Structure 1
Amino acid sequence: MDSIPANRRLWNQISSAYQHEHDPQIGATPRLWGMYSIPDAHLHALGDVTGKRVLELGCGAGQWSRALAAEGATVVGLDLSEAQLAAAADAMGAARYPLVQGAAEQLPFAADSFDLVFCDFGGLSWAPPHLAVPQAARVLTRGGRLVFNVASPWFEVCYDEAASRVTTTLQKDYFGLNSIAEDDGATSYQLTYGDWVKVLRGAGLIIDDLIEPRPDLGTPNGYNETDPPDWAHRWPAELLWVTHKP
């Protein structure tokens, strides 16, 4: 299934509204992971990036890329949407870095080009993982790391489409997780724990850690309604995978 054209159209349509709603939070502080804006300093997923060649898959308006470039990384921001890339270019400031239009499942880079490939609800949420993960592994150097944050399958199977909120009730089959129909024909992707392991190992990657970010009580979800409000304090809402290429 080629989801690239529809996903590109969707993100071009929603880019302005998305950045207007979310940039004040995610753009204000560097290195914030996921729906609950948990600092990387608490999760220790990326580590020191000084002097590293870094690729962000689905950079959006460049909040992460901008911060890592300022820390001394050589960053490339990749995104499918030209509207998102325009937002990144407008916000770039002094810490300048290249922006490339492309898809995570068709990376336009040579093998062994990067020391770190990462995303936070970016390319690995909006590209088929069985295609995108091997591409990420291909462009990594030996010893290079793939680090990415995606929604937990728990979150997905408890999401009530009709009510537009996450609940404490199972709403769909866990073993049916794969592609998810989004607005205007776009597609996002979600795997079970076991399928993520198969995809990562199949690409030749070593899994170093699986972090399930747990927000403190009272931490708001900036993207989804949840019932109860502290859903993610009780059950894992996100998976932060830390892997490397041997």
Structure 2
Amino acid sequence: MAIFNDYDKYASAYDADIEDNVYNALYERPATLALVGDVAGRRVLDAGCGSGVLSQALAASGAAVTGVDLSTNLLAIARHRLGPDVPLIQADLDQQLPIRSSTFDVVVASLVMHYLHDWSGPLSEFRRVLAPGGCVIISTHHPFVDFRPSGQGDYLGTFEFTEEWVKSGERFLMRFWHRPLHAMFDAFTAAGFTVERVSEPRPGAAVRDRSPELFEQLGREAPFIFFILRSDDRDPSPAGETPSR
């Protein structure tokens, strides 16, 4: 039986690949950090922190970062990378987070939402843990780009699709969820957010210098889409609180 999204199995290979590749290190991560902006002194939740590469960049910019991820082995790499002073929580984004309400100024969900079938729970939790005036930064698969390799031919549908990844010479089976743009906006609105900004960034000079071919490709079609969300100021739905860790 095929096992998909087994980040515990290939944590080291995945970490080695994303630390300095084009798509993550030179395209998505700089774009996310640009949208986050000045984080000095701000409390930031890295939701789906993985091996802690983005958390490291946020902490280096002065943020008080907390990372959350489901994978034991990715969190172990993150702990080694970040040291003892960055809180790391093992938790499933599909479940209530063990974090008090109104704890963070910023929630960042970098390339994690496309793993989730139902966005309502995670988005509601992001809103719950946001302090007043806070924002959520999301990057995810661009729906216009990911529906084509899925083979479904149904941009307007919401469906699972699979891919095979090669990271550091190892092959891994991945499973994602495609949803059209209107379904993303519907989920944001239902969770009590307004969309402040949508971004489909072009690649920067670092991509051009590394790979002219990918620079040309990413300049024609964005593989990821980025959002800044703001709470609409209503009280979040009641939820039991558990202590921060």
TM beyond 0.5: yes
- Which of 161, 170, 177 does residue 180 from structure 1 map onto? 161
Letter of the structure 2 residue corresponding to residue 36 of structure 1: Y
For the pair 1:198 / 2:186, whether they are aligned, the reply is yes
Structure 1 distance, partners of 2:154, 2:188, is 22
Q: What is the rounded CA distance, in whole Å, between the counterparts of 2:61 and 2:227 in structure 1?
A: 22
C-alpha displacement of 1:159: 1.7
CA distance in 1, matches of 2:195, 2:69: 25
1:238 match:
224
Rounded to whole Å, the distance in 2 between the matches of 1:158 and 1:35 is 24
Q: Please give the residue correspondences for 1:86-105 in structure 2 after superposition, counting only pairs within 5 Å.
A: 86-93=76-83, 96-105=85-94
Aligned-residue identity in percent: 28
Q: What is the aligned counterpart of 1:147 among 137, 156, 178?
A: 137
- Aligned residue number for residue 36 of structure 1: 27
- Counterparts of residues 1-246 of structure 1 (less than 5 Å): 10-25=6-21, 36-37=27-28, 39-40=30-31, 44-93=34-83, 96-106=85-95, 107-122=97-112, 124-127=113-116, 128-159=118-149, 172-181=153-162, 187-215=175-203, 219=207, 230-245=216-231, 246=233
Tell me the alpha carbon deviations over residues 109-158 of structure 1, each in whole angstroms, 9 at most, x when there is no partner: 12211111002213x23223222111111111221101011110111122
Equivalent residue of 2:227, what SS? strand
The letter for the 2-side match of 1:233 is G
Query: Deviation of residue 25 (structure 1)?
Result: 4.4
- Structure 1 residues 216 and 76 mapped into 2: Cα distance closer, same or farther (>3 Å)? closer
Counterpart Cα distance in 1 of 2:48 and 2:12: 15
1:156 aligned partner, one-letter code = D
- Separation (CA, whole Å) in 2 of partners of 1:191 and 1:34: 25
Structure 2 unaligned blocks of 5 or more: 165-171, 234-245
The DSSP-based 3-state class of the residue aligned with 1:97 is coil
The number of aligned residues is 218
- Cα distance in 2 for residues equivalent to 1:228 and 1:219: 7
Contact 1:58 1:79 in 2 (8 A): yes
1:193 to partner: Cα distance:
0.8
Give TM-score scaled by structure 1 length.
0.76
Aligned in 2, Cα 1:78/1:144: closer, same or farther, shift over 3 Å?
A: same
* CA distance in 1: counterparts of 2:76 and 2:160, whole angstroms: 28
Can you give the 5+ residue segments of structure 1 that lack an aligned partner in the other structure?
1-5, 27-31, 162-170
Shift, 1:80, TM fit = 0.7
